[in-house]
Amino acid sequence: MQREPETELMEDKAQVEAYARADFSLPHQQFIDMLSTLVEPAEFDGIALELGCGPGDISRRFVKAYPFSRLYALDGSKPMLDYANALIDDSNRLRLTFIHGKLPDTRLPLSRYDLIFSNSLLHHLPEPGVLWQFIKRYAQPGARVAVMDLLRPETRQEAKDKVACYANDEPEILQRDFYQSLLAAFTLEEIHRQLHQACLDFTVTQSSDRHVFITGRIP
């Protein structure tokens, strides 16, 4: 099945509200757990950058799991960041900053980051190379990178089955978004090609029947 790109930024009010209210605790905690096997939470005292943070669920989990970290989390959607800012715990306000900006043209507060991560951004990008180049531009030498995203099923029917299996109880708008995201996602082969083109020697692992986890270190 050919890729069908979806709208890049999530700015529609109803769409953002449905996304912010949805329960992503399972995949998001899995993301933090997988990251923790690569970067020891008690030992990381550097500055992290999250790309496409949406309403900030992973951002909040990250600062909780990594007590000595500082996180800058970026998204191009103002409505998403309104949720993210409203949900910051006061105790984390000094370690977590949300930034409104769109890849690739945004300017970040710092020129280099010790850890860069992202979940579910890649499939939103019309041109996926933008993510890999952005990471290369802002990663400190030796920085760890972790990117999780959806994988595109082979058929529309398979995508519909995944929506029925994992989002059956969710509002219709979320089911529609999930379906469109599955159609917009990349295959393992395409991701390997993107990394090769970006000269990034990263490991690509299928982490569930619908997720891919990509990780590596910047030389």
Ligand X SMILES: C[S@@+](CC[C@H](N)C(=O)[O-])C[C@H]1O[C@@H](n2cnc3c(N)ncnc32)[C@H](O)[C@@H]1O
Stretch that binds ligand X, among 47-55, 84-92, 138-146, 200-208 (CB under 6 A): 47-55
d(CA 121, CA 8) in angstroms, rounded, equals 9
55 to 84: interface string for ligand X, x by CB under 6 A: --xx---------------xxxx--x----
Please identify which residue in 121, 135, 139, 200 interacts with ligand X, judged by CB under 6 A: 121
Residue 100 in contact with ligand X, rule: CB under 6 A: no
Least distance (Å) between residue 122 CB and ligand X: 9
Residue 215 in contact with ligand X, rule: CB under 6 A: no
Contact set for ligand X, span 152-211 (CB under 6 A)? none
Residue 216 in contact with ligand X, rule: CB under 6 A: no
Please identify which residue in 32, 63, 103, 184 interacts with ligand X, judged by CB under 6 A: 103
d(CA 181, CA 99) in angstroms, rounded, equals 24
Rg (CA), the chain: 16
Q: Which residues of 126-157 are buried (b: 16+ CB within 10 A; e: fewer)?
A: eebebbbbbbbebbbeebbbbbbbbbbbeeee
d(CA 50, CA 131) in angstroms, rounded, equals 12
C-alpha torsion sign, points 95, 97, 103, 105:
negative
Positions in the binding site for ligand X (CB under 6 A):
8-10, 24, 52-54, 57-58, 74-77, 80, 102-103, 119-121, 124-125
